[in-house]
Structure 1
Amino acid sequence: MHTKVAIIGSGPAGHTAAVYAARANLEPVLYEGFMAGGVAAGGQLTTTTDVENYPGFPESVMGSDLMDKMRQQSERFGTNIVTETITRVDLQSRPFKLWREGSDGDADTPDTADTVIMATGATAKRLFIAGEDKYWQAGISACAVCDGAAPIFRNKPLAVIGGGDSAAEEATFLTKYASHVYVLVRRDQLRASSIMANRLVSNPKVTVMWNTEATQANGDGKLLSSLTIKNNKSGEVSDLPVSGLFYAIGHTPNTDTVKGQLNLDETGYIQTQPDTSLTNIEGVFAAGDVQDKRYRQAITAAGSGCMAALDAEKYLTEHDI
């Protein structure tokens, strides 16, 4: 199968790119993946509950419902959605080659594309402590900005795990809603910058718990109510009553398929030219969390998906394809 525009990924970036490309009569193909990275088609939003900060939904919307609507909109304008995962790409020759999961390298005929939009996202790192799966999105989250204002967290004690700038920022953000925020740090110091660390430890609504690790999430089977924590210096084990746990230990960009082909930064994110979606290879574009390690929001991903589609359209026009 050949297409002018191949979109790899099915989150807000991918589907926004698909809508724009389809409305430009480019007949895009979107590979939404099948549990790629352990996440269902639709990306990280499918693992969240109420989304309250996406414009157009004053009463909030379930993350999975929002992604269903985006998928329907992509299909409405003629996007060909393929429910398979792309596991290998060749961006060194033209047209670009894409292999679906299960294909046997050069032995199978790859799909081809004149342009490729990488919108594979990034996966939040988790610790997988005991009870985590039971209370994931029922008290445990990897995005304070996305979920921190939810009713189940308001005026309740919350915990953040992490010691870097992201943890400091998320903990400070949560103080707007929480009765108190506990920051669990494995070591005896923060990795955060001095200004962020000072801001955190001086906040009266924050308690930093040094040399502390969470070992188990506890609750009533429906919602989180406490964490079992351990001091890794003294070995003391105790119970910390909290209604929310937020991981702030980083994300892993889903860039395995393009390593060695696209320029990546030191943490693995695709590098794009300033104010564009352009990568180091002409005709290949990147959008969403796979190239954004700063904001990582649905709305910014959607915006960059629009940019990628417009950049792809411009490339095709300029090259008379």
Structure 2
Amino acid sequence: MSENDLIIADIGVIGAGPAGYSAAIYGVRAGLTVAVWTGPEPGGQLMTTNMVENFIGFPEGIMGPELMERSRQQVEHFGGQIINEIVTGIEPQDGEFLIKADKRPGKVKAVIIATGAVARWLGTESEAKFRGRGISACATCDGFFFKGKKVTVVGAGDVAMEDAMTLAKYADSVVVLVRGTEESMKASKIMQDRAKQNPKIKFMFNSEIEEFLGDQFLQSIRIKNNVSGEMQEMPMDGVFMAIGHKPNTDMVKGLVEIDEGGWIKVKGTQTSVPGIFAAGDVADKVYRQAITSAGTGCMALLDAKKWLEHK
């Protein structure tokens, strides 16, 4: 492939969620040429979020897909290039970086990885039907919508305990479903104790969801007891998954340093490879909010710009 076949840009952004779009907007407004490879899910996790009410500037809230479409339009308005293709790899080459893609590869001077992370789901057919319609993986984002409702948290770690306590501020009742025994829980004792002391929170051990039931929105769940095999149906307005997230870092394994959980290691936003930066959930295992991702996208671009100026 010749140089003429490549997309040439100062900055290559991999990923098109809040972090990637934010980086691109700051880049083109700074006078840099920016190309954004969207990946398999342009818009990221917000594409499955109905109403976003905690992103500043939208007092009435905004639908997740609309927020991402506006972000895309903003990138293009200022002259950024959007490439609807999956990046298969990044290769350092002659002081620059080759962005590998089947149809529209590129060559850039610096890279911002903003490929995000995905929640781990149970993987059942009925679960997919109700995502965004009663099933969520973000208690901080969506807990407010379940005021006075009955909700379930699936998980046994510290995040599940935190989610249960967050939801207890809004919901009438919170059931924590744990696949194993009480003794097998991964949550720290202090977090377990805090959750157990909350009168709204109840635990069901040796239990897992077999099926999600409802019409347009979730109405009930079918639960299996893993010891007795007994099944029971329980009316439920919402289910929150707290069984972990998987950062989308397969593409850069062996290129940049990654921690034991799969997240990219960064200092600020700089990865272990000079000229490659990371923003958003791909490097953030703590906050995982749209607005924090957008903030780190800005940070990554400013870091990349400074790096290019001193290169």
- Would the TM-score normalized by the shorter structure come out above 0.5? yes
CA distance in 1, matches of 2:148, 2:85: 43
CA distance in 2, matches of 1:144, 1:157: 13
Structure 1 counterpart of 2:48: 47
CA distance in 1, matches of 2:288, 2:129: 25
Q: Is 1:136–2:128 an aligned residue pair?
A: no
How many residue pairs get aligned? The number is 303
Q: CA 1:92 to 1:148, structure 2 compared with 1: closer, same or farther past 3 Å?
A: farther
Identity %: 48
Q: What SS class does the counterpart of residue 131 from structure 1 fall into?
A: helix
Give the partner amino acid of 2:71. M
Q: Which runs of 5+ in 2 are unaligned?
A: 1-6
- Choose from 102, 118, 123 the match for 2:118: 123
Structure 1 counterpart of 2:181: 188
The alpha carbon displacement at 1:131 in A equals: 1.4
Q: Is 1:95–2:96 an aligned residue pair?
A: yes
The alpha carbon displacement at 1:301 in A equals: 0.2
Give the partner amino acid of 1:164. G
Q: What SS class does the counterpart of residue 44 from structure 1 fall into?
A: helix
Deviations 1:94-121 (A, max 9, x none): 3111111x36xxxxx9421110000000
The runs of at least 4 consecutive aligned structure 1 residues that moved more than 2 Å come to 91-94
Q: What SS class does the counterpart of residue 65 from structure 1 fall into?
A: helix
CA distance in 2, matches of 1:122, 1:201: 30
Q: What SS class does the counterpart of residue 148 from structure 1 fall into?
A: helix
Give the partner amino acid of 1:76. H
Q: What SS class does the counterpart of residue 155 from structure 1 fall into?
A: coil
Give the partner amino acid of 1:173. T
- Choose from 143, 156, 171 the match for 2:149: 156
- Choose from 272, 279, 295 the match for 2:271: 279
Deviations 1:37-71 (A, max 9, x none): xxx31000001100011111111110001111111
Q: CA 1:110 to 1:57, structure 2 compared with 1: closer, same or farther past 3 Å?
A: closer
> Which stretch of the first structure deviates more once superposed, 121-130 or 85-94?
85-94
Q: What SS class does the counterpart of residue 16 from structure 1 fall into?
A: helix
Structure 2 counterpart of 1:60: 61
CA distance in 2, matches of 1:4, 1:186: 49
CA distance in 1, matches of 2:148, 2:29: 45
Give the partner amino acid of 1:239. E
CA distance in 1, matches of 2:162, 2:205: 17
Give the partner amino acid of 2:222. T
Counterpart mapping for 1:257-272 below 5 A: 257-272=251-266
The alpha carbon displacement at 1:246 in A equals: 0.7
Aligned residues of 1:91 and 1:261 also touching (Cα < 8 A): no
Aligned residues of 1:6 and 1:113 also touching (Cα < 8 A): yes
Q: CA 1:192 to 1:93, structure 2 compared with 1: closer, same or farther past 3 Å?
A: farther
Q: CA RMSD in A?
A: 1.2
Deviations 1:137-190 (A, max 9, x none): 11111111111112xx22011001000011111111000110100000001122
Q: Which runs of 5+ in 1 are unaligned?
A: 104-108
CA distance in 2, matches of 1:21, 1:287: 14
Q: CA 1:96 to 1:244, structure 2 compared with 1: closer, same or farther past 3 Å?
A: same
CA distance in 1, matches of 2:113, 2:290: 16
TM-score by length of 1: 0.92
Structure 2 counterpart of 1:85: 86
CA distance in 2, matches of 1:154, 1:93: 56
> Which stretch of the first structure deviates more once superposed, 84-93 or 164-173?
84-93
Counterpart mapping for 1:1-321 below 5 A: 1-33=7-39, 36=40, 40-91=41-92, 94-100=95-101, 102=102, 110-150=105-145, 153-189=146-182, 190-219=185-214, 221-273=215-267, 276-319=268-311
CA distance in 1, matches of 2:262, 2:306: 27
Aligned residues of 1:123 and 1:252 also touching (Cα < 8 A): yes
The alpha carbon displacement at 1:278 in A equals: 0.6
